[in-house]
Structure 1
Amino acid sequence: MRRRTGLAMAGVAALAWGEWLNWRWSRTLVKTGGGGPEAVVVLGYRNPRATANLINRWRVRIGIRSIAADGVQETSLIFSGGPTGAGTTEAQLMADYAKSVLGYDGTVLLEDRSTTTWENITNVVPLLEGMDRIKIASQPAHALKARAYLRRQRPDLAERLVRADDYRPGEWIVVKPLLALYGLWTLRRLTTGERKGSP
């Protein structure tokens, strides 16, 4: 009985830890407020098939709900991701999913050359120049990494970063501890200030 209770408590603690870390990451290196034109950048994930995979579909949904969260009218949805094994690009696959499956009919821009997160940010910068608000849509740890890269490459644009709707309590709760572990590994090269949002 004690063993079961101990395992149950450990499981609850792991779920709570995963929730907390993802919540914290979604609120790091972002500001609040601002108006005017907005860009929501959806980062692609390796996609060898001819249709958007599970991760890319999740990221597209994060991007679209990030628009609805504020009700800003002048929003450009930017899909970023280069060639896949299927002969098309991650950006195109995500755009097709947004339009044909989710019925998105707003402004869509494609960045279709990137193969890394650093390249995602480098290549979308020209599309962000006239934007007052910038959101990055991905899993919280990955989005934080991308925000840190924008801060390194273009600190002036990083001042316009606002939170995307990338964290929701209970969403993917069972895998959040694994996402948190993977996030800690992928964020290991960021500085303490970048991980915690300090100057």
Structure 2
Amino acid sequence: MRRRTGLAMAGAAALAWGEWLNWRWSRTLVRNTEGPAEAVVVLGFRNPQARANVINRWRVRAGIRSIAADSAHGTRVIFSGGATSGGASEAQVMADYAKSVLGFDGTVLLEDQSATTWENITNVIPLLEDVDHIKIASQPAHALKARAYLRRQRPDLAEKLVRADDYRPGEWVVVKPLFAVYGLWALRGLDLKADERKNRP
């Protein structure tokens, strides 16, 4: 009985830890900005098949729901990701899913050359120059990594970063501890505290 109780408490603690860490990442290196012109950048995940896999389907949904209600007509959704197996690019696969399955009929731009998160950011920068605020949609740790990369490459554009709707309590709750562990590994080496200090008004 004690063992079961201990396992249950450990499991609950792991779930709470995963929720908290993903919540925290979703709110790091973002600001509050104003203006009608909005860009939502959706980062792709390895997708060797012709249809969007479960990760990319979720990222597209997170990107679409990130569009501000009062900015819908002034929002461009940028799908970013190159081809991983010689077929369609991640960007194209995600755009097809957004249009054919989700019925999204807004402005869509494709960045289909990048193979890494650093390249995602490098290649979408020309599409972000004239917007008022920028949202990056992915799993929270991955989106944070991309925001840190934008701050390194173009700190002026990073001042326009706002939070995407890529974290919701209870969503992916069972696997959030795994996302948290992977996120800690993916974010290793990034001096996020220094970036946060630079990001203060």
TM > 0.5 = yes
Q: Is the 8 A contact 2:22 2:141 kept in 1?
A: yes
| 2:70 counterpart residue number | 71
Q: Percent identity?
A: 77
The alignment's C-alpha RMSD in Å is: 1.1
> How many residues align structurally?
197
The range that moved more, 34-43 or 140-149, is: 34-43
Please list every run of at least 4 consecutive aligned residues from structure 1 whose deviation after the TM superposition is greater than 2 angstroms: none
Gap runs ≥5 in structure 2: none
> Using the alignment, how far apart are the partners of 1:76 and 1:138 within structure 2?
16
| 2:168 counterpart residue number | 168
Give the TM-score normalised by the residue count of structure 1: 0.96
The C-alpha deviation readout for 1:112-168, integer Å capped at 9, x for no partner, is 000000000000000000010000000000000000000000000000000000100
Summarize the alignment of residues 18-167 of structure 1 with structure 2, pairs less than 5 Å apart: 18-67=18-67, 69-72=68-71, 73-85=73-85, 87-167=87-167
> Using the alignment, how far apart are the partners of 2:33 and 2:192 within structure 1?
25
The one-letter code sitting in structure 1 at the alignment partner of 2:17 is W
Gap runs ≥5 in structure 1: none
Shift of 1:70: 4.3
The one-letter code sitting in structure 2 at the alignment partner of 1:155 is P
The C-alpha deviation readout for 1:69-89, integer Å capped at 9, x for no partner, is 443130000000001325110
Q: Is the 8 A contact 2:33 2:160 kept in 1?
A: no
| 1:198 counterpart residue number | 197
> Using the alignment, how far apart are the partners of 2:194 and 2:48 within structure 1?
32
The one-letter code sitting in structure 1 at the alignment partner of 2:166 is D
Shift of 1:189: 1.7
Give the TM-score normalised by the residue count of structure 2: 0.95
